[in-house]
Structure 1
Amino acid sequence: MPSIAAYEFPDFVETAAFVKDQPVFAIADGSVRFPAGGERVVEAHPGGLLSARYDPYGRRLLTGGEDGRVVSVDGGGAAREIASIGRKWIAAVAGGPRDTVGFASGRTAYVRLSGGALKEIRHERTVEDIAFAPKGIRAATARYDGASLFFPATDAAPAALEWKGAHLGIDFSPDGRFLVTIMQENALHGWRIDDGKHMKMTGYPAKVKDWSWSAKGKFLATSGAPAAILWPFSGKDGPMGKAPLELGTRGDTMVTAVACHPAEDMLAIGYGDGMILAVRFADSKEALLRRGGASPVRTMAWSGEGRLIAFGSESGEAGVIDIAG
């Protein structure tokens, strides 16, 4: 039976991650917590934290706050200011190859290149999210009516990928062939980067608020339904014309968080009532990891070796699950 080391934080958990095998939690009050082995607290943003994301390239946690600062926190708990743009809210952060860091504030996307230069890419509408392609220094932003693709090390104008509506989240597929956005409506949208061909992923009863790519990028798992919805991306056309997998179906609550295992075809699923399941892709076999809690699961992450799961909820409940017991 899985075992849980439970924690309680003073505000909702924005992001749970493992940084060099240490479970780390970014909290909305502006702190980053290292609870294992005696709690260490890093005061990253005293005025409040707005965004946090694990940087797989730099193996660190990146955070953005109401203080206009972007901070990196390493596995030892050392915090370093990456950028500061005055009293502006940092709505999104992302790490890229070669020590590149991107972030968004208002109508501007910023990219700090490895040499320290800070590039500004202005948009006509608010930049909601930013992501980096897995190879080369190429970035994409989510905005109203589509996405923008650009090479921040050059002065070339961004390429526009248009689709009507508000796009709130963005990510590249692990092989770099596709770009996908989370929309304000109950849908995802995607483009095949080579030719701009559209991919519509609809049918959700609620907004998608979390997603996770499976090992080798075969599937994109998403929240927003009473089951985890997994869109297939292994073929040249991605999910176009294909039905998604549905895992962990429950009739009385919604999936609110998803995290794919780093090596195996297995998914951790968090629900609105705090329950967490692990489900195998091949046969839909389920294992109960957590019975429930006081609020929806907001964020989950696997450790590098795939034995531990860190999770956090909207009420500040959190923990680390050892699936081996």
Structure 2
Amino acid sequence: MSSMKRSNSIFQDGWYSEISEYVIACDWALENKNIIAADITGNIYSFDAKTGKLLYMQKDTHNKSLLDLAVNPNGSIYATCGQNGKVDINAASDGSLLSSNSLGNDWVDNIQWTNNGKLLAGSIGKFVHVIDSSGNQLWRSDELTSTVSAIYWSNNNELAIASYGQVIIYDVKTNKACQRFEWKGSLISLALSPNGEIVACGSQDNSVHFWRRTNGKDAEMTGYPGKPKDIVFDITGQYLATGGSPQVTVWNFKDKGPEGTIPGQLILHNEPISCLSFANSSSLLASGAKDGSIAIWKLDKNGDGEPIDKVSINSTPTRLKWKRDDNAFLAASDSGKLFCWDIPSKKGEGIGFKN
């Protein structure tokens, strides 16, 4: 662990740690006092959020093939999944295993908690399972026609599932498929607006497709040079930021948009976007790219913007994560580095860190 200090920068005092393997996920836990991170070889780490001190480490989970990590919104537990077909739930305080849940023989590659932290969805092959925070299985989808590519909770009961050519939204409480949206193509990413009205997907054909749930109308945004696997809505649901190129493309859903409008273009990175993350309480956007650069943007009303600040970590960012009060920021990398920067509110008051 090493400390960092950059004068006259949004990226203020902080620390970084060498994990040595590709960091697949990271998040805040235990009322933001700890940071949990996981690498692709199945090692899980807990750090003191202020100092970067390693508190504990668990080695070789999921038979050395971990695929995702998700901290429960209450911060006291976290879930992991991997190629061994299992979802494990652990205590964030010491990493102790609370439950190990076998979903099958395929890889479990996507997991996500509901906002209230009561349910966890996990995709395995052509199925999606839902368990509670104790590991009890509550629901399983019907077999889909193809492998599940992405999952996303619309609310605490509604779960959106993307696979080849379709998105299905299930009510897991009533076991009913509420809506089905079809598209001839491979859907590789999925995001829903905070109110659940807009369903957006990145597609294998270098486009972004979205549907409005109230009327079923759909639209397509084309022209991406690459696959937009990174798509994310801001807290208001007005802006949808997308990757698929070295520049961040931002679509504005205000009024009748984005149909017939020109998207915002955030230009700074020299290589394709690798991850995106909106702040929790504002429309500040963090972007990372394969050239190792990370930028924080303040958007204008059209979705354009200028970088407030930037930093290079000399490796590809794999995950960006804001602290829940937006006063600190995490970045993980493919070279096994984990960075944490403090962003004091007083430093950001003039640039939009407060709504």
Deviations 1:271-294 (A, max 9, x none): 21111111211373323342241x
What is the Cα deviation at residue 69 of structure 1? 1.3
What is the Cα deviation at residue 60 of structure 1? 5.0
3-state SS of the aligned residue for 1:195? coil
Q: Is the 8 Å Cα contact of residues 309 and 320 (structure 1) preserved in structure 2?
A: yes
What is the Cα deviation at residue 51 of structure 1? 2.2
Query: What amino acid sits opposite 1:304 in the alignment?
Result: R
Q: Which runs of 5+ in 1 are unaligned?
A: none
Q: Is the 8 Å Cα contact of residues 188 and 229 (structure 2) preserved in structure 1?
A: no
Counterpart CA distance in 2 for 1:61 and 1:223 is: 28
Query: What amino acid sits opposite 1:14 in the alignment?
Result: I
Residue equivalent to 1:171? 191
Q: Is the 8 Å Cα contact of residues 113 and 153 (structure 1) preserved in structure 2?
A: no
Deviations 1:15-34 (A, max 9, x none): 22222312222211112222
Q: Is the 8 Å Cα contact of residues 144 and 165 (structure 1) preserved in structure 2?
A: yes
Aligned partner of 1:254 among 256, 265, 272 = 272
3-state SS of the aligned residue for 2:211? strand
Instruction: Say which is worse superposed, 173-182 or 8-17, in terms of deviation.
Output: 8-17
Instruction: Say which is worse superposed, 99-108 or 279-288, in terms of deviation.
Output: 279-288
What is the Cα deviation at residue 38 of structure 1? 2.4
Instruction: Say which is worse superposed, 87-96 or 157-166, in terms of deviation.
Output: 157-166
Residue equivalent to 1:285? 306
Q: Is the 8 Å Cα contact of residues 257 and 297 (structure 1) preserved in structure 2?
A: yes
What is the Cα deviation at residue 63 of structure 1? 2.0
Aligned partner of 1:226 among 246, 270, 279 = 246
Over 3 Å counting, the alpha-carbon distance change for 1:63 and 1:114 in structure 2 is closer
Counterpart CA distance in 1 for 2:149 and 2:101 is: 18
Coordinate RMSD, CA, aligned: 2.5
Aligned partner of 2:157 among 137, 144, 148 = 137
What is the Cα deviation at residue 185 of structure 1? 2.3
3-state SS of the aligned residue for 1:45? helix
Counterpart CA distance in 2 for 1:107 and 1:47 is: 23
Counterpart CA distance in 1 for 2:133 and 2:15 is: 38
What is the Cα deviation at residue 224 of structure 1? 1.8
Counterpart CA distance in 2 for 1:145 and 1:169 is: 12
Aligned partner of 1:125 among 146, 151, 154 = 146
Counterpart CA distance in 2 for 1:175 and 1:57 is: 21
Which one has more relative contact order, counting CA pairs under 8 Å at least 6 apart? 1
Residue equivalent to 2:53? 38
Aligned partner of 1:264 among 282, 285, 290 = 282
Q: Is the 8 Å Cα contact of residues 51 and 91 (structure 1) preserved in structure 2?
A: yes
2:110 is aligned with 1:92: yes
Deviations 1:66-91 (A, max 9, x none): 12111234542444336322433102
TM-score when normalising by structure 1: 0.89
Counterpart CA distance in 1 for 2:253 and 2:79 is: 28
Query: What amino acid sits opposite 2:53 in the alignment?
Result: G
Residue equivalent to 2:23? 13
What is the Cα deviation at residue 102 of structure 1? 0.9
Q: Is the 8 Å Cα contact of residues 42 and 77 (structure 1) preserved in structure 2?
A: no
3-state SS of the aligned residue for 1:46? helix
Query: Residues 71-86 of structure 1 correspond to what in structure 2 (within 5 A)?
Result: 71-78=88-95, 79-81=97-99, 83-86=101-104
Counterpart CA distance in 1 for 2:45 and 2:253 is: 35
Instruction: Say which is worse superposed, 2-11 or 163-172, in terms of deviation.
Output: 2-11
2:264 is aligned with 1:245: yes
Q: Aligned residue pairs: how many?
A: 321
Q: Is the 8 Å Cα contact of residues 31 and 46 (structure 1) preserved in structure 2?
A: no
Deviations 1:83-105 (A, max 9, x none): 32243310211112551111111
Aligned partner of 1:148 among 165, 168, 182 = 168
2:64 is aligned with 1:52: no
Query: What amino acid sits opposite 1:249 in the alignment?
Result: L
What is the Cα deviation at residue 228 of structure 1? 1.5
Counterpart CA distance in 2 for 1:173 and 1:305 is: 20
3-state SS of the aligned residue for 1:165? coil
What is the Cα deviation at residue 145 of structure 1? 0.7
Q: Is the 8 Å Cα contact of residues 321 and 331 (structure 2) preserved in structure 1?
A: yes
3-state SS of the aligned residue for 2:236? helix
Residue equivalent to 2:350? none
TM-score when normalising by structure 2: 0.82
Residue equivalent to 1:26? 38
Q: Which runs of 5+ in 2 are unaligned?
A: 1-8, 348-355
Give aligned-pair identity as a percent: 24
Instruction: Say which is worse superposed, 149-158 or 193-202, in terms of deviation.
Output: 149-158
